Structure 1
Amino acid sequence: MQTTDILLHDLDDNGILRLTLNDVGRRNALSEAMLTRLGTAFADAGANPSVRVIILAANGPAFCAGHDLKEMTAGRAAPDHGKAYFTKVLAQCSGVMQSIVNCPKPVIAQVTGVATAAGCQLVASCDLAIASDTAQFSTPGVHIGLFCSTPMVALSRNVGNKHAMEMLLTGDMTPASRAAEIGVINRAVAPDTLQEITMEMARKIASKSSMTLATGKRAFYAQREMPLSEAYDYASGVMVNNMLAHDAEEGIGAFIEKRAPQWQDH
């Protein structure tokens, strides 16, 4: 296992990379250091052919408390009252969230404890999320005079407008059961089953062609921003190219011949 002070890396024989937030004393806040390490970890994982699926987990009672408000407050000491610093940190955070979406490997959040503000954004940015039924989610910026505008981007792309606005306008904690109902997470499970259920999903996904998964993930996020007819044109082109790939030919042949496919990931 390769470790850093605040982010743990563990790659198993199935190609499942577990990234574990480990800055427990700061409730796994998205400090500059944490954002840097996450950005590097997702870039490295995306380029590593040995990685097939990524699980994002956390140690301690909080999954992620969002931005490090002490760091942010210290930034106000600058002559511009922190404008340049805030701009830099928010751009860095937005870059990490986009790196999750743009990563060719599926990313599953395994959530325990609370995920608040940019921590909730982190969960919403992952492709899938499974949480302990004791976990809670919130975008509480309104409590401190700061609307969760950047978390809103990821949240509003996961849940309906009125559910997103309820979370954003009230700042209330949303229990895992409700988060599953509205689409923040896929499901809420008993704490003692969380890791195994997450691993079961990761192993299932890892058994597929990584070329197929990367093709599908990229197309999913691209098409949803397009008008309907444009989305169909785009998706049709993606599917034509996918059909011409080795793994599609192999997979279809294996299905017809009733045998297990032998993926070559291209």
Structure 2
Amino acid sequence: MQSPFFAPDTYTRFDPARLQYLKVEVKDYVLTLTLARPGKRNAFNQAMAEEIAFVLGYANQDTAIRCLVIKAEGPVFCAGADLNAFLDAGVQRSIPAPQRKVNLGEAFAFTYKPSIAQIEGPVLAGGFLILAGATFAYATPEVHFSLPEVKRGIWPMQVMASLSRRVPERKIMEMCMTGRLYTSAEAHQMGLLSDVINAGSIQEKVSELAGQLAASAPLAISSGMRAFQAMHTHNNQATLYRMLQEELEKLLQSEDAAEGIHAFKEKRHAVWKNR
């Protein structure tokens, strides 16, 4: 499972302590990625976007990671792209240079491990690439969401693609054209959020789900996520079901499938090998 932006051998140089704009912790098969640019409302410049894509790619290929949690420091989850910083041609990196220009929508689309966005502050503009890119998203009731680009003479181009997997087309156009604020309840109703959780309980809810995902069969999950992504490229129903049948047959031949069946018969917890 290779990143679309970084060569596989670059991950051997991954050192969380060197990241400029993120904090990363790995514990019990769960990687927690915290956006750590609160002074700029966690708006991402090019270097920060590259760091996010690098961490996603690292998690993709590390068998010790089965789930990702994405959080943020400060009162704003993510205010999107820092446009002034993107106009600056210079990039000071703490990680290897990508093979081509990074965009977060694609980085999330090619992440085949489940991720959970824990949202306790507003999400604006390009922050929707993280919100819609995550597999699950939980927010507190007071959070609001907005795509204000049209008010600045621009348009959330890449965000449209990410939203198209979560939200009906008419709602996407409404959000892009009006730039209005949406509450957590509205975001949940339109399918953008998995649930709305009180501030005192959201950490517990996210941790519980992350633990469940980390305990599930990692090869089955990653294979299922890849197959789900591939479904969007099939217009013919016959070839679609044939592809899915082939993916299931591959899984049935795996060591994890054999282990899962034996564990079920023996009434014990399975020991997954991710192969």
TM-score tier by shorter-chain length is 0.7 to 0.9
What one-letter code is carried by the residue in structure 2 that aligns with 1:203? G
Counterpart-to-counterpart distance in 2, 1:47 and 1:146: 36
Match of 2:123 among 100, 110, 115: 115
Local SS of the residue matching 1:122: helix
- Of 220, 230, 237, the residue aligned with 1:222 is 230
Match of 1:234 among 225, 235, 243: 243
Match of 1:36 in 2: 50
Flag the structure with higher helix content. Answer: 1
Contact 1:133 1:175 (8 Å CA) reproduced: yes
Q: Could you tell me how far apart the structure 2 residues matched to 1:191 and 1:118 are?
A: 24
Residue 83 of structure 1 corresponds to none
1:121–1:152: 8 Å Cα contact kept in structure 2? no
Residue in 2 that maps onto 1:259: 268
1:188 aligns to 2:202 (yes or no): no
RMSD: 1.8
* CA shift in 2, pair 1:166/1:119, >3 Å: same
Offset of residue 2 of structure 1 = 4.2
* Aligned match of 1:71: 85
Query: What is residue 166 of structure 1 aligned with on the other side?
Result: 174
Q: Is the 8 A contact 1:29 1:67 kept in 2?
A: yes
Deviation, structure 1 residue 99: 2.1
Q: Which runs of 5+ in 2 are unaligned?
A: 1-14, 90-99
The aligned counterpart of 1:100 is: 108
Structure 1 residue matching 2:77: 3-state secondary structure: strand
For residue 53 of structure 1, the aligned residue among 67, 71, 74 is 67
Q: How far apart are residue 73 of structure 1 and its match?
A: 4.9
Distance 2:161 2:25 in 1: 30
- Per-residue Cα deviation, 1:202-261 (whole angstroms, up to 9, x for no partner): 100000121111111111111133223322111111001111111112212322343322
CA contact (8 A) 1:131 1:185 kept: yes
Q: Take 2:240 and 2:169, find their aligned partners in 1: how far apart are those partners?
A: 22
Letter in 1 for 2:21: I
Q: Shift in Å at residue 93 of structure 1?
A: 4.5
The structure 1 segments of at least 4 consecutive aligned residues displaced by more than 3 Å after TM superposition are: 1-5, 72-75
TM-score (norm 2): 0.85
Give the gaps of 5 or more residues in structure 1.
Answer: 76-90
> Is 2:206 the partner of 1:198?
yes
Alpha-carbon separation, structure 1, partners of 2:274 and 2:129: 31
- The 1:92/1:60 distance shift into structure 2, 3 A limit, reads farther
Residues 1:26 and 2:40 aligned together:
yes
Post-superposition Cα deviations, 1:137-190, rounded to whole Å, max 9, x if no partner, equal 121111111111111110111111122121111111111111111111111110
Report the residue type matching 1:148 in the other structure. P
**Counterpart contact for 2:125–2:148, Cα < 8 Å:** yes
Within 1, Cα distance between the matches of 2:249 and 2:87? Answer: 52
Which amino acid in 1 is paired with 2:256?
A: D
What's the CA shift string for 1:43-77, capped at 9, x where partnerless?
111121211111111111111111112224556xx
Residue 93 and residue 142 in structure 1: after superposition, are their counterparts in 2 closer, same or farther (change >3 A)?
A: farther
Q: 2 CA distance for matches of 1:196 and 1:16?
A: 14
- Per-residue CA distance 1:66-115 (angstroms, 9 max, x = gap): 1112224556xxxxxxxxxxxxxxx8342x32222212321111111111
